[in-house]
Amino acid sequence: MVLQSTWFFLWGLLWAIFFITDGFDFGVGTLYPFLGKSDTDKRTMIAAIGPLWDGNEVWLITAGGVTFAAFPKVYGVMFSTLYTPLMLILFALIIRGVSFEFRDQIVSPVWTRVWDTAIFVGSVTPALLFGVAFSNIFMGIPFNGDGVFEGNLFTLLNPYALAGGTLFVLLFTLHGALWLCIKTQGDLQKRTIKAAHTLWPILLVVAVTFLGASWFATDLYGNYIAQPVLFSIIAITVAALLGIRYFIHKEAWFKAWFASCATIFGATFFGIAGLFPTLFPSSLDAAFSLSAFNASSSTLTLKIMLGVVLIFIPVVIAYQIWAYSVFSHKVTEEDFYIH
């Protein structure tokens, strides 16, 4: 049971790292049509994430790979029940990836406008749908004992899930705005600072609303009541969210961005801690739910994978720290073509 619990934690950790790293990419793309007043502004915004966005998506592959290898039954049922939103996320990520390259291939206002739109759609869609997907997981998804989904897309687009999707979009958009505050200068940075000031109170309201709605729509608080120490996750997350506002006021952009990282991390683990040990709950019958204990791979597989993870994940983290340090400077025109 210790191995399964360890892998449950690692599963949540990898999703949290993905949301932190690729989250600001999604945020920059969401802000793209609103802050990019000129072609130079838009090129600057692309260059701000250009050297990093594809490396950030490695964490999505890792999180998906861990789900497949450590909890194969969860992987199968998840990709069956959430097939439509997950495919939409995949297509959006593909469109966003190619749009960075295709945008400047032809000098044409129409061509540029098409790919500018693709950058926005390819950024806001995954942010929204990841929130919708995880909120539905928190609620429980209507699948039977055979793992067959007894619902449709509109079943997933319920008020609680849409609130979760809105929360993810706001978390990532503010995260992206703070990244742009670090990377940009001049008028673009001034507009970004204004956007950060505007987004924070809206995020606060939506976050508090979602936290309250989770009490009525989910069973997440069951673990918190049984283990009151878990309420520290909520307390730390709230403190990090308030820290964002404090550091924005101080114009300490790196600190504000790291506070945003902590907020996203805490928001993710709010759900992870509430779910444990269930990975994929069924709203039809608790007996159909998939947990870390009834849906995991063999003990040998988990042991071998744990050794691999302990060796290679630190290497990936070290590489990304190096990459972030290399590209930590303000964006200049020399960076416009580094994707």
Element housing 152 (H / E): none
Buried b (16+ CB within 10 A) or exposed e, 94-115: ebbbebbeebbeeeeeeebeeb
**pLDDT tens, residue by residue, 228-251:** 999 999 999 999 999 999 999 999
CA distances from 18 to 23, 55, 148, 174, 204 (A): 7, 10, 28, 16, 22
Report d(CA 47, CA 42) in Å as an integer. Answer: 9
**pLDDT tens, residue by residue, 107-163:** 899 999 999 999 999 999 999 999 999 999 999 999 999 889 998 888 999 999 999
**pLDDT tens, residue by residue, 42-78:** 999 999 998 888 888 889 999 999 999 999 999 999 9
> Domain containing 59: what range?
2-335
User: What six digits make up the tokens of 282?
Assistant: 């069924």
> What percentage of residues in the chain have a pLDDT greater than 70?
98
Report d(CA 68, CA 133) in Å as an integer. Answer: 17
Report d(CA 258, CA 261) in Å as an integer. Answer: 5
Domain count, the chain: 1
Identify the band that residue 336 occupies on the pLDDT scale cut at 50, 70 and 90.
low
